[in-house]
Amino acid sequence: MTETTPSRQRHAVVLAAGKSTRFKSEKPKLVHDLCGKPLVCHVVDKLRRLDVGNIIVVLGHESETVRQALSESPVQFAVQAEQLGTGHATMCAAPALAGHEGSVLVVYGDTPLISHETLQSVFECREEQDADEVILTAIAPDPYGYGRVVRDVDQTPLCIVEEKDASPDQKAICEINAGFACFKIETLLENLPLLSSQNAAGEYYLTDLLALLRNSGRKVIAVSAKCFEETAGVNSREELAWAESHLRAEIASRWMKDGVTILNPATVYLDPDVTIGPDTIIYPGVFIEGKTTIGPRCKIYSGCHLLDATLEEDVVVDHCSVIRRSTVGRGTTVGPFAHLREHTSVAAHARIGNFVEVKKSVIGEGSKASHLTYLGDATLGRDVNIGAGTITCNYDGVNKNKTIIEDGVFVGSDSQLIAPVTIHQGAYIAAGSSITEDVPAESLAIARGRQVNKEGWAKGKAKKKG
């Protein structure tokens, strides 16, 4: 591995202390979900994919809620006690940058759609040109609310003017400041204290640094993003909905390029961390969330909902089934209308049929529970057959108890297995049994009231009536 020279080192500051006034929410907008993950985590995860040393997140308004959303991310925190603007928020991160060399990218926590390539190009431009500041710009179809980039006659950037401070001529400019500014660390630390709050908002704007640096003869560069969409900020619920549909379409398109058939992508919801193998077919109206992994050649039919699920190859999940935090082995069929709850593991070539609920259970290879069954806290061996209407009675009102069903067991329909109980290898349970004791291997257990036929009884009853 090659050592990074100090001048090539990369750091980042994520501003996440703002009040989210336009969101009209009790909680900060940065913890609202976008495609199943908090808004702020999108930009942080993108930075982690770059070669960024320290990621410093500036917290302020509702800081604990935002800190919680980032609890699994390897970031450092800085605190902005009072929200005095983006320049002031960056000042709060300055102590964490002191003593470092190289580049620092200051990004806003509410710009989740930025691409890896664009972030990389902003860093590279700063490094290759040894610039003091590189800003990213885009042409917005409706620039309202964004800082406008004013250029000189030679097209070099002169300054950024915020909406509130812009003249009518400046408001007509469609080139906006996307909110990704990369600085030489030394330059940033030297110049941050020079910012003033003499503007319409009475805030310290980070964006004022561009003019300040240019006027003192420093090297400032503006690079353009591939498209406006990747730079869009999320300031309102409408913008959140727009970002959601944009990101979903992008994720679906990526998987289709990788060989997945998605019959109606507009109706399929795939979270960013989902992975799908080639030749898998996803029917309309499917939700696949969290860290779900789907192998090749699977079929996921309409109305299914998968969360943190792992499916090996050739799995069929039939209509309206729910699989959460569970794994399903090769060639197994689940559903229609099945529910695999947390910590369930179904092995290969098994079958979990309609109206079957399975919780915290292990189902062995080739085993079948085809209809109307509840299996909870159960361990099933190989080639077990569970008849329709079987229930593991796992809860005695205080404790959850285990049911063990060994290889080759046949459980007749409408049986209750009252846990804790073990059905040993190859045993048969007669239909309609309430099993309270262990069943030895290769035996038949019958545990139900005996049938009594009273011949002619009904005829007598009919006579009385007449």
- Candidates 111, 137, 333, 354; binder of ligand UD1 (CB under 6 A) is 111
- Candidates 13, 15, 104, 356; binder of ligand UD1 (CB under 6 A) is 15
- In whole angstroms, the minimum distance from the beta carbon of 135 to ligand UD1 comes to 9
Nearer to ligand UD1, 244 or 279 (CB): 244
Name which of Ca ion, ligand UD1, none residue 176 binds, using a CB cut-off of 5 to 8 Å depending on partner kind.
ligand UD1
Nearer to ligand UD1, 77 or 355 (CB): 77
CA dist 431 and 417 (Å) reads: 12
- Of 80-88, 266-274, 286-294, 453-461, which part binds ligand UD1 (CB under 6 A)? 80-88
157 belongs to the binding site for Ca ion (CB under 5 A): no
Nearer to Ca ion, 110 or 312 (CB): 110
Binding mask 134-153 toward ligand UD1 (x if CB under 6 A, else -) reads: ------------xx------
CB atoms closer than 10 angstroms to residue 43: 27
CA dist 379 and 409 (Å) reads: 12
Q: Which residues contact 267 (CB under 8 A, 6 or more apart)?
A: 284, 285, 286
Looking at beta carbons, which residue is closest to ligand UD1?
Answer: 147
CA dist 173 and 150 (Å) reads: 8
Q: Which residues pair with 287 in a beta bridge?
A: 269, 305
102 belongs to the binding site for ligand UD1 (CB under 6 A): no
Query: Do 205 and 191 contact (CB within 8 A), yes or no?
Result: no
- Candidates 73, 83, 379, 413; binder of ligand UD1 (CB under 6 A) is 83
- In whole angstroms, the minimum distance from the beta carbon of 96 to ligand UD1 comes to 14
CA dist 108 and 148 (Å) reads: 16
110 belongs to the binding site for ligand UD1 (CB under 6 A): yes
Looking at beta carbons, which residue is closest to Ca ion?
Answer: 233
Site for ligand UD1 in 31-70 (CB under 6 A): 58, 60
Nearer to ligand UD1, 179 or 331 (CB): 179
Q: Are strands 403-405 and 378-380 parallel, antiparallel or unpaired?
A: parallel
162 belongs to the binding site for Ca ion (CB under 5 A): no
Site for Ca ion in 190-249 (CB under 5 A): 233, 235
Nearer to Ca ion, 30 or 134 (CB): 30
DSSP assignment string, 266-286: GG-EE-TT-EE-TT-EE-SS-
Single-letter code of the amino acid located at 192: L
Rounded to 5 degrees, φ, ψ at 23 are -80, -20
Given the residues 100, 343, 349, 371, the one annotated as active site: 371
- In whole angstroms, the minimum distance from the beta carbon of 18 to ligand UD1 comes to 3
Tokens representing 111 are: 């710009």
Cis peptide before 143 (omega within 30 of 0): no
Nearest to 84 by CA among 248, 172, 206, 258: 206
Name which of Ca ion, ligand UD1, none residue 207 binds, using a CB cut-off of 5 to 8 Å depending on partner kind.
ligand UD1
Name which of Ca ion, ligand UD1, none residue 146 binds, using a CB cut-off of 5 to 8 Å depending on partner kind.
ligand UD1
- Of 1-9, 173-181, 213-221, 418-426, which part binds ligand UD1 (CB under 6 A)? 173-181
Q: Which residues contact 462 (CB under 8 A, 6 or more apart)?
A: none
- Candidates 177, 367, 390, 416; binder of ligand UD1 (CB under 6 A) is 177
Query: Do 49 and 120 contact (CB within 8 A), yes or no?
Result: no
- Candidates 23, 123, 183, 205; binder of ligand UD1 (CB under 6 A) is 205
Nearer to Ca ion, 160 or 286 (CB): 160
Asked if 371 is an active-site residue, the reply is: yes
CB-based burial, 338-355: b 16+ in 10 Å, e otherwise = bbbbeebbbbbbbbbbbb
114 belongs to the binding site for ligand UD1 (CB under 6 A): no
Which residues in 155-290 belong to E strands, given as ranges? Answer: 157-161, 175-184, 220-224, 261-262, 269-270, 275-276, 281-282, 287-289
87 exposed, middle or buried (CB, 10 Å; 0-12, 13-18, 19+)? Answer: buried
Query: Do 108 and 93 contact (CB within 8 A), yes or no?
Result: no
238 exposed, middle or buried (CB, 10 Å; 0-12, 13-18, 19+)? Answer: exposed
Binding mask 100-119 toward Ca ion (x if CB under 5 A, else -) reads: ----------x---------
310 belongs to the binding site for ligand UD1 (CB under 6 A): no
Active site residues per annotation:
371
Binding site for ligand UD1 (CB under 6 A): 15-18, 58, 60, 80, 83-86, 88-89, 108-111, 146-147, 160, 162, 176-179, 205-207, 233, 235
- Give the binding site for Ca ion (CB under 5 A): 110, 233, 235
